[in-house]
Structure 1
Amino acid sequence: MVAMVEAGASGRPGFTRGSGRPKPPPLRLTRRGRVVLAVALMLLLAGLVALLAPASRAADPATGAPATTVVRQGDTLWAIAERQLPGRDPIAVVAEIRRLNGLDDYTVYAGQQLVLPAWR
């Protein structure tokens, strides 16, 4: 059986007119290659986001001291989050307050001093 080979304008298979070089085969990725490429692109994107996103620091830019608040009678972390950082997502603020202060649960006590996120 004879295989048919498409000839370029020059009459020679695989060559294009005037180039003198063979035409490269089309790029084909295997499933593994597509996965590796997708993971590499996601890692690159995550790295760019990490570099460009402002770091949350618990410091007052004017004095360099951490921004703090004292828990009032009847306060909850939610109330503190809404009062100290209005306009921010209270769930994220509460999580950050807990992380900054090493709180294992949501219990706070009147008179307790809490470090606040520096998302002003």
Structure 2
Amino acid sequence: PLLTLAALIVLGAISFFGPAASASVENASATRTVVVVKHGETLWDIAQAVDPQGDTRDTVVRIMELNSLTSTSVDAGQRLEIPQTQR
């Protein structure tokens, strides 16, 4: 939990100073949605784009869990399953 919190703090700082980007969302099937990471995009950016009304920290953690990520690092072209919003 401490490592995740530290990673989220660093990720938040990086995304605050980094370039703004938006997630490319595609509907992979009726039951899941996938985003393709764009160049310069962070997990924080993606979380904000897919659930702008939610707590971004919680969305980052949910994306990490859905994709079995062990860090918040993502690469351009990487496909990530994203959680469905409950709104």
Specify the TM-score bucket, using the shorter chain as the normaliser: 0.5 to 0.7
Identify, as 1 or 2, the structure richer in strand: 2
Identify, as 1 or 2, the structure richer in helix: 2
Aligned positions, number: 59
When normalised by structure 2's length, the TM-score is 0.63
The letter for the 2-side match of 1:76 is T
Between Structure 1 and Structure 2, whose CA radius of gyration is higher? 1
Aligned pair 1:80/2:67, yes or no?
no
- RCO greater where, 1 or 2, for CA within 8 Å and sep 6 or more? 2
The letter for the 2-side match of 1:103 is L
Structure 2: stretches of 5+ with no match in the other structure: 1-26
Structure 1: stretches of 5+ with no match in the other structure: 1-59
- What is the alpha-carbon root mean square deviation over aligned residues? 1.5
Aligned pair 1:65/2:41, yes or no?
no
Runs of 4 or more above 2 Å deviation: none
When normalised by structure 1's length, the TM-score is 0.46
* Residue from 48, 59, 65 that aligns with 1:99: 65
